[in-house]
Amino acid sequence: MKIQPDTCRMSSLVRLALQQVVKVSRLVVVVMVGLVIPINTSLGIEPPVGTQIVHPRDKTIMVYVPSGQFVMGLAATEAEVLAGHLGFAEGEDLWAWEAYPQRSVYVDGFFIDKYEITVHTWHHYVKVTGNESEANWSSRHYDDPAGQLFPAASIRWAEARRYAAWAGKALPTEAQWEKAARGTDGRLYPWGNSAPTAEVGHFGRRGEARPKGYELVGTFPGGASPCGALDMLGNQYEWTCQWLEPYPGNPQAEKMEAYAGQVGCLRGGSFYHGWVSLYAAKRFGLPPRETHYHIGLRTVWVPPEGYFASDQFSRDQSEVAGQELKLQKMRQAAGSARNRQ
């Protein structure tokens, strides 16, 4: 049974607007002069983009991406702009053809982790489940105050899926990941359309040696995406739930024939892969059992029907400030530990 929106909590203006609706698939658009309110009929009235909660299972802070269309993929002209920004001769050098064609895609609303899954969170998962990663890379930081907010590293695809399932979440689809990174205005990067700088992500400076390792999550607030997700470019590559295959209608799909459908799709670039990977439409892939220390994860969660009208939603929102304070203390402890080294 669907739970109807609690109109008693709405302003009189919104209640009036609810009298006229236009349905489009699962999305309802409330229409009034000067007022358009998206409603996902399975969730009720959706909160604004960037609304934060603490997920009740793994205690990660998550940010909301509302239902609707967004611009996914690249146009060839944009690939040439990116090449100029990133220090390459042409878009071909970026493997930009993997992101062709550009098109409008509809995605239902979802939450996505604000930060990449950290060593601290991964360690808790390992202690609860016993499911340590085969590479066992992150364990070197388990007892190190300087490393609690490093991103989990050397995670294989199946290991990332197991974590997400344990948390009651999922790995993102490519569309979910890209919408969280780009928003709805077709921007090239999470922060906008200006070329990357060392102030917006962990990837160093163009033309200089790449960073030697990953960095604490959330170190670069200037690189936040429209929904408030951090480190969507740089730091770690992040697993999606999909195989890397040509998009429908890709005019250069033949270039992907040798590996299409054989590698899991990763998003977000990494400090190690460098500037060739630093654009929001970038796609990369690895065989399912392959991983490296610049491979991590971020998860998504589609809330159940009626969630936004529930007390659980209010409780999850109320925990955000406390969780951010815990992260701040861990960040301070990391700084102190680094200073002693």
Distance CA 146, CA 338 (A): 6
Burial class (CB in 10 A: 0-12, 13-18, 19+), 219: middle
On whether both 240 and 263 belong to a single domain, the answer is yes
* Number of domains the chain is built from: 2
Distance CA 83, CA 91 (A): 5
On whether both 14 and 68 belong to a single domain, the answer is no
* pLDDT tops 50 at residue 9: no
The pLDDT tens digits of the residues spanning 186-229 come to 999 999 999 999 999 999 899 888 899 999 999 999 999 999 99
pLDDT of residue 43: 55
Q: Which domain holds residue 20?
A: 1-45
The pLDDT tens digits of the residues spanning 61-82 come to 999 999 999 999 999 999 999 9
Distance CA 176, CA 236 (A): 17
Please report, for the domain that includes residue 145, its CATH number: 3.90.1580.10
Phi, psi of 60 (to 5 degrees): -80, 150
On whether both 155 and 201 belong to a single domain, the answer is yes
On whether both 30 and 170 belong to a single domain, the answer is no
Q: Pick the closest to residue 337 from 198, 214, 216 (CA basis).
A: 216
pLDDT of residue 155: 98
Q: Which of the pair, 43 or 245, is modelled with greater confidence?
A: 245
Distance CA 108, CA 70 (A): 11
On whether both 177 and 224 belong to a single domain, the answer is yes
User: Sign of dihedral through CA atoms 323, 324, 326, 331?
Assistant: positive
* pLDDT tops 80 at residue 241: yes
pLDDT of residue 41: 43
pLDDT of residue 44: 62
On whether both 92 and 184 belong to a single domain, the answer is yes
Distance CA 262, CA 244 (A): 7
On whether both 249 and 105 belong to a single domain, the answer is yes
On whether both 123 and 37 belong to a single domain, the answer is no
On whether both 18 and 52 belong to a single domain, the answer is no
On whether both 235 and 177 belong to a single domain, the answer is yes
On whether both 121 and 16 belong to a single domain, the answer is no
How many other CB atoms sit within 10 Å of the CB of residue 127? 10
- Which of 33-42, 69-78, 193-202, 263-272 has the lowest average pLDDT? 33-42
Distance CA 149, CA 296 (A): 13
- Give the confidence band of 11 by pLDDT, cuts at 50, 70, 90: very low
Distance CA 125, CA 246 (A): 34
On whether both 169 and 312 belong to a single domain, the answer is yes
pLDDT of residue 42: 53
